[in-house]
């Protein structure tokens, strides 16, 4: 007697957007048989053709309304600025009982832009997989992107508990850890852990770009680890990050103000030769790095890197070694 093949958790998944996150999710859905069928949507014909070539979906569409028909799960994987238009277009074609979720980095904006268009009987479960690289496009995705990373869910009050658990189970199957969070709190936390570092990176790299040509060439030639890391972050998708800053402006501006105040304090300590102040500051921030390592959130977001084990926290034998 043949063993019955288990049914996938979702009969039909629609992925609106086939960039890094959407294409990575498609790869996981296929690898782990989490969807009976996948439909995709992308505005660019080149993206649709590449996604088809890579076998990421059974069908690719330019119109999001066509992509969501018959889907029991819809995942919006496009820049935040597109959400309201997408919601307007897909609303009439959403199936009763379907779940709509997303991967955006600002959750109050998601609820604001999607919520008014979600029909009765359709469930909105905003989500944010905290993972990514500076690369984009369907060819940039990989199934391991979400392994050992957090996915934060921010369901509005009254959201169907079974729908929330379905989305949580999906991300657990992708290898993620789940956290349920208030949308406003999420936006404040991510403003310091993600959005502010991007503002700083864009600024530092922009400053280097404005230097006279001879100095700029040497900056690139002699880039040490710190500047190299800033250029990696600054290489992220400009449209996506434009929309992040515009949609989380209050939290980002608050964190920028705090950062500016701290920067002024460091500037004063450097000017007046206050070595004790600088050392105390650096020791305190070094402890934060140790916590990141202990939480297994250090390194890159590429789970395919050859050594995934967390490096040891700096000890006496490494404390005085100069960095790059």
Q: Do domains 10-181 and 185-294 have the same CATH topology?
A: no
CA proximity to 23, closest of 128, 107, 123, 144? 144
- From first CA to last CA, the distance across the chain in angstroms is 63
Residues ≥6 apart with Cβ < 8 Å to 243: 79, 80, 81
Determine if residue 15 is left, alpha or beta; phi over 0 gives left, psi from -120 to 50 gives alpha, anything else beta: beta
Q: Name the CATH superfamily housing domain 185-294.
A: 6-phosphogluconate dehydrogenase C-terminal like domain (1.10.3660.10)
pTM of the predicted model as reported, rounded to 2 decimal places: 0.84
Mean pLDDT per 10-residue run, the chain (324 residues)? 66 97 97 97 97 97 98 97 98 98 98 97 98 90 96 97 97 97 97 94 89 79 80 89 95 95 96 95 88 71 47 36 28
Backbone angles phi, psi at 67, to 5 degrees: -70, -35
Domain limits of the chain?
10-181, 185-294
Q: Under CATH, which number does the domain 10-181 receive?
A: 3.40.50.720
d(CA 29, CA 23): 10
d(CA 300, CA 134): 11
């Amino acid at each position: 007697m043949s063993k019955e093949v288990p049914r996938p958790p979702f009969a039909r998944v629609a992925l609106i957007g086939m960039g890094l996150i959407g294409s990575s999710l498609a790869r996981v859905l296929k690898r782990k048989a989490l969807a009976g069928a996948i439909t995709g949507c992308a505005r660019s014909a080149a993206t649709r053709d590449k996604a088809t070539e890579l076998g990421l979906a059974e069908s690719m569409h330019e119109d999001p309304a066509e992509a969501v028909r018959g889907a029991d799960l819809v995942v919006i994987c496009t820049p935040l600025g597109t959400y309201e238009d997408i919601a307007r277009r897909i609303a009439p074609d959403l199936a009763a009982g379907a779940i709509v979720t997303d991967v955006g980095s600002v959750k109050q904006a998601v609820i604001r832009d999607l919520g008014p268009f979600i029909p009765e009987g359709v469930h909105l479960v905003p989500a944010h997989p905290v993972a990514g690289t500076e690369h984009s496009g369907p060819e940039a995705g990989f199934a391991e992107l979400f392994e050992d990373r957090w996915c934060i869910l921010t369901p509005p009050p009254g959201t169907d508990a079974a729908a929330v658990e379905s989305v949580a189970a999906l991300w657990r199957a992708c290898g993620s850890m789940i956290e349920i969070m208030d949308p406003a709190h999420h936006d404040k936390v991510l403003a310091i852990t993600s959005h502010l570092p991007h503002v700083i990176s864009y600024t530092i790299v922009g400053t280097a770009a404005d230097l006279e040509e001879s100095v700029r060439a040497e900056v690139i030639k002699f880039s040490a680890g710190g500047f190299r890391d800033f250029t990696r972050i600054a290489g992220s998708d400009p449209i996506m990050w434009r929309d992040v800053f515009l949609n989380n402006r209050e939290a980002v501006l608050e964190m920028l103000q705090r950062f500016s105040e701290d920067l002024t304090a460091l500037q004063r300590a450097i000017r007046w030769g206050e070595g004790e102040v600088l050392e105390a500051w650096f020791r305190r921030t070094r402890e934060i790095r140790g916590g990141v390592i202990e939480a297994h959130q250090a390194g890159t977001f590429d789970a395919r890197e050859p050594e995934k084990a967390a490096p040891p926290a700096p000890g006496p034998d490494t404390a005085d070694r100069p960095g790059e």
